[in-house]
Structure 1
């Protein structure tokens, strides 16, 4: 090779290297393009679409065993945002306009052209009057769940409705009543005329009629301090800065801005599985996981293992399972074939916690995010829209006569002490005996004892009496 040839090759190599460098820089500048991603991240905590996470494995009948009862505790299906959420999401119209302006006029953002085009066509048309209404997807989720259950357990579910054979109970909200109605349509046909009366009983909505839980958990900032602390970590601050720059802002957005964008991303995917939401493009996959963790922390302390009182809230549902199954083990023919409860996230999560399902050997906190990446408490998997716990009681002719299997979102629960999910009822009864004891497993914890109330009453009377005495004395001074 001549010197000239060598120099030509060298120059050519430099040109190619520069071209590649410019190309890489351009791609880096443009950033992640959601519109081109064939496998976007689809887990959004409690707003995850059921379609993305439910068990689609073929059901295999258990040899020598026949189902006797199907017990289901189910959250309502996909819904619209609440009133406060609707107001917050409507504010994104302004943020959307700013993002487009940042990219097209200020040339400061890093979203790809396709994602910007999606922002241009995005609209938010929901009003507060439609708050928390069940969506079409939510209706179909329950209808098809019923169809699948009827197909799996034909022997006891594929029959006309009668109140002796089926117990159907729902809370008194539109979204749960419609979820129950959709389920009934799937189970008994579109022409079935079954009246479902709502009941705020102690199984499906303990927490709402529980002043102690409302005080200690629902309205207590102390209960959610781990969420607050996580928002202030360097991880979240770095993510906030990166998201803000990606969207073209010269200042950092607030966490509420990020939360609104995340919720719009989540709702959009639950309403339309196949449509790309521009709001999901605001986040990388790692950032979506951070936002998901915020929600995991929230539910861990609101309805999970983070607060002991949540286990008490979930206890009546577990007690209902065990009392019904005990009667079945004793060959009580009065028990129905199907028991179906329609409720909310808190009820399902607390029941799972009382059973010990999705329990990690450590606490989930603000400072151990990387150490709990493989945690069992992932609300995207255990508590999506229409999350449901199924307990199936079997009568068997070989081995243990009475057996039980749990399903969570139609996945077999590999319950501790059971054989690949199939449990001896005798074992379960012994394991849960102390938990479901009627003397402790009830809603009495929700109300402060009469002794405490009397003590408080006496204290108030004492204070009033002292004030009267002081007022009297003051007159004579």
Structure 2
């Protein structure tokens, strides 16, 4: 059973029928292999960039830690405030000079806020199925995944769909439950509200919008005389393309199938969506990413919880962890083989930055680099997931058989290079770090952010 808010979805479905609306059709400047749904930054649906990398010969997985963002959702209250002015201004125009706006004559905006949509439920259900199929050897009826969720409804529903997918893949043999919901008003390593002095990304996003927005604003104002759209309205309308599309996906959708694109998507070209995508890159980088004031430190608590599980030892942390929950084996067990935690994109960004993934120097706000590793549409989609696998490997070295432990990390199925702990770049052992080397590489988290946590509370 998929978990969303059914009554809300039933009410939405009558106003989100797209059968008579024009769908997105690529413009003349369409880049090779352009896929619209992969250009929405943090609003892109989950997609795996490559197939799962098999284990090297002689290796077995002994523990798995999954950290996953909630699935596709409706806009937040703040995002609704950004979206509505542009819609209202376009609808206030007396006439349109381009037929791509004609759908607005009968359009009614009725999206609710914050709630998980059916696509989000499907995404997490499929993720749970994948986890069981991939890690079935780690599961017994006495050793089921330990599942936590931050206490917002869309995160909770995502976790429930994951457990439902896990159970379905086992034909009901293994039925994990959501073991712990963490109150977001308390210390919560799955939420990013524990650092009062943390910075934001508004300045950088505005600077980039002032670069790519004006030509789009001018064109849409010429299509809707008198609308008087601003650059901020344009950003909101491009967000609506993504939100309107994911909200329109019905139950029964097969992950990876074509999406019913919203007519708002046809108002923009592929190159403009690539500029929009870069807005998300800047947002995550300058909020809880490498470029944010006190961004990385907001992921330290989770990393220290991860290290505790990997070493089967109590959590050592003086940042955002909940010491009461983590001291109780019922709410923070250390004897499980699979752990699954459900969170928000801001936390995942902080965690990957604290670990050292996707290392990136300063992102410019005037023009993006075409070949960059920090790309939100690849690393911070709806239902994005980081998987940390602990391996036990048997090897023959100079004629002697040895056994050792290793760590490897996959982000949306992509095996990470882990150069920071000495992983090999090529061959079957690519991306594997010796266990002790990985632990040593996490000095920033093991040292409570090396002074950054205290800065969260300085006056």
Q: TM-score, normalising length from structure 1?
A: 0.72
Determine which of 59, 76, 101 is the counterpart of 1:82.
Answer: 76
User: Where does structure 2 lack aligned partners over 5 or more consecutive residues?
Assistant: 1-21, 28-32, 250-257, 314-332, 396-401, 425-429
- Rounded to whole Å, the distance in 2 between the matches of 1:340 and 1:58 is 18
Take 1:151 and 1:355, find their aligned partners in 2: how far apart are those partners? 27
Shift, 1:205, TM fit: 3.3
Deviation (angstroms), 1:212: 2.7
RMSD over aligned Cα, in angstroms?
3.0
Counterpart for residue 436 of structure 1: 445
Q: 1:407 and 2:397 equivalent?
A: no
The within-5 A match list for 1:383-398 is 383-398=380-395
Whole-angstrom distance in 2 between the partners of 1:314 and 1:258: 32
The corresponding residue for 2:156 is 177
Q: Distance in 1 between matches of 2:384 and 2:259?
A: 21
Secondary structure class of the residue paired with 2:179: coil
SS at match of 1:241: helix
Partner deviation per Cα, 1:172-231 (whole Å, 9 max, x = no partner): 111111111111111134964735331147563353133233xxx25xxxx532222223
Q: Secondary structure at the match of 2:441?
A: helix
Separation in 2, partners of 1:268, 1:346: 22
Q: CA deviation digits over 1:88-132, x for unaligned, max 9?
A: 544555445457x533xxxx33xxx5x4565556443224xxx21
The answer to whether the aligner puts 1:139 opposite 2:121 as a matched pair is: yes
Q: Secondary structure at the match of 2:265?
A: helix
1:227 corresponds, among 205, 209, 214, to: 205
SS at match of 1:397: strand
Distance 1:321 1:400, change over 3 A: farther
- Between the aligned partners of 1:251 and 1:345, the Cα distance in structure 2 is 34
Aligned pairs for 1:23-34 within 5 A:
34=24
| 1:245-278 C-alpha deviation (Å, 9 max, x unpaired) | 3x34367520222022111101123333521311
Structure 1 residues 280 and 84, CA, compared in 2 at 3 Å: closer, same or farther? same
CA distance in structure 2 between the partners assigned to 1:238 and 1:400 by the alignment: 61
Report what 1:418 is aligned to. 423
What does 1:88-167 correspond to in 2, within 5 Å? 88-91=82-85, 93-97=87-91, 102-103=95-96, 108-109=97-98, 113=99, 115-116=100-101, 119=104, 122-127=107-112, 131-157=113-139, 159-160=140-141, 162=142, 165-167=144-146
Given that 1:70 and 1:337 are in contact with CA atoms closer than 8 Å, whether structure 2 keeps it comes out as yes
Contact 1:139 1:179 (8 Å CA) reproduced: yes
Question: Equivalent of 2:269, from 284, 287, 294?
Answer: 284
Q: Displacement, 1:72?
A: 0.9
User: Of residues 223, 236, 243 in structure 1, which corresponds to 2:213?
Assistant: 236
Q: In structure 2, what is the Cα distance between the partners aligned to 1:442 and 1:181?
A: 37
Q: Which has the higher helix share?
A: 1
Q: Are residues 307 and 263 of structure 1, via their aligned partners in 2, closer, same or farther at CA, if it must alter by over 3 Å? A: same
Which moved further from structure 2: 304-313 or 115-124?
Answer: 115-124
Partner of 2:36: 41
Q: In the alignment, which residue of structure 1 is the partner of 2:254?
A: none
Highest CA radius of gyration, 1 or 2? 1
Q: 1:241 to 1:182 in 2, by over 3 A?
A: same
Q: CA separation in 1, counterparts of 2:243 and 2:179?
A: 28
**Judging changes above 3 Å, is the alpha-carbon distance between structure 1 residues 195 and 325 closer, same or farther for their aligned structure 2 residues?**
closer
Paired residues, number: 385
State the distance in 2 between where 1:440 and 1:33 align: 48
Pairing partner for 1:380 from 354, 377, 382: 377
Q: Distance in 2 between matches of 1:170 and 1:79?
A: 16
**Shift in Å, 1:411:** 1.8
Deviation at 1:143, TM superposition (A): 1.1
Question: Shift in Å at residue 82 of structure 1?
Answer: 1.4
Deviations 1:399-433 (A, max 9, x none): 6610111011122112213132222213212322x
Take 1:55 and 1:36, find their aligned partners in 2: how far apart are those partners? Answer: 22
Structure 2 counterpart of 1:4: none
Task: Find out whether 1:363 has 2:362 as its counterpart.
Answer: yes
Q: Is residue 2:234 matched to residue 1:258?
A: yes
Closer, same or farther: CA 122–275 of 1 in aligned 2, 3 Å: farther
Greater alpha carbon shift after TM alignment, 413-422 vs 177-186: 413-422
1:88–1:436 Cα change, 3 Å: closer
For 1:196 and 1:396, locate their aligned partners in 2 and report how far apart those are by CA, in whole Å.
Answer: 31
Deviation, 1:36, is: 6.2
Task: Tell me the TM-score normalized by structure 2.
Answer: 0.75
Q: 2 CA distance for matches of 1:435 and 1:408?
A: 21
Distance 1:135 1:120, change over 3 A: same
**SS of equivalent residue, structure 1 residue 304:** coil
1:267 maps to which of 233, 239, 243: 243
